[in-house]
Amino acid sequence: MREALLTPLRWLVHPAPVLETLGETCPLIWHGSRARGITDEVADVDLWMLVDDEQLKRVECEAGTNFFVIRVNGVEGHINLVSAANLASAFGPVDMSTLFELRRCQIVRDRDGIVAELRERAMAAMPDRVRAAWFTHHYVKMRGEHRSTDNPMYRGDPVAVLFGVSRTLQEALRAAMVLDGEPYPYHKWLHASAKETPTGRIVTALADEAISLMDNGDLRRIGDERDNPLSKKLKEIRIALVEAARANGLDGPWLEKWWYHIDSSTQAVLEVGWPA
């Protein structure tokens, strides 16, 4: 597959003449599921083609998009044109999902070493200040999302409970991965990826138990959230994260009085960057 991606334009589903003007020298980054070795029938091919800002503007102007569908040896996928500056911007403010992809990508073509530099930077250990800021941010958001389920549980509103529980689990998994020093992917791969980190394994196991409780009907249980097994399971996740945070040197009043730190924890992740 990687060899075939050296000539990505031959695989375009619809002709895009403007792409021909870019030549065959643009850096190419293979990312996503197939680049990580997942080859089931629903895994597609994700390719970033790096261009400069002027090239990107020209393509978007002439083609009306920077996203092109391809079919490589029968496998569906796409080429997404991005600028090197755009990828570099993922380091500050930190874009966790882009860093996740850079850590796991395969370099298809990189004559000037641009991609190698970006990947090397992404592969560096997560800085302590990034880890602390992002864990705090997701932990505080998790607590808020869990609290949002209180009234819907009391009223027996399963859809509202489902929304709150889903968001709580997402924030918990993100917090777990960050605590373990790993950038996290977007939500589709979050659960599977969290299983690969120590705290993530604990939280995913508890998340699986929460799903089982929803299957058993606790999503529709009416009454005080303190009596709801699903809410109790979310509290177990919270306790696991608190214990893991303190064991890893992260502590503070935000672990308990989280509501005082909603704005500050959100602002903190906008101000912290991943150093060069």
Question: Among the residues of the chain, which ranges form H helices?
Answer: 17-20, 53-63, 84-88, 96-104, 114-123, 128-147, 150-155, 158-179, 190-194, 198-215, 229-247, 262-271
Q: Is the peptide bond before 93 cis (omega within 30 degrees of 0)?
A: yes
Whether domain 4-123 has CATH 3.30.460.10: the reply is: yes
Residue 3 has pLDDT above 90, yes or no: no
pLDDT digits (tens, 9 = 90+) for 163-180: 999 999 999 999 999 999
In this prediction, what percent of the chain has a pLDDT beyond 70?
100
As a whole number of Å, the CA-based R_g of the chain is 22
Q: Are 254 and 136 in contact, with CB atoms under 8 Å apart?
A: yes
Rounded-to-integer distance, Cα 135 and Cα 139, Å? 6
Rounded-to-integer distance, Cα 77 and Cα 69, Å? 6
Provide the whole-model pTM: 0.94
Nearest CA to 139 out of 239, 248, 267 is that of: 239
Rounded-to-integer distance, Cα 253 and Cα 241, Å? 14
To the nearest whole number, what is the mean pLDDT of the chain? 95
pLDDT digits (tens, 9 = 90+) for 213-246: 999 999 999 999 999 999 999 999 999 999 999 9
Residue 6 has pLDDT above 90, yes or no: no
Which sequence spans correspond to the domains of the chain? 4-123, 128-271
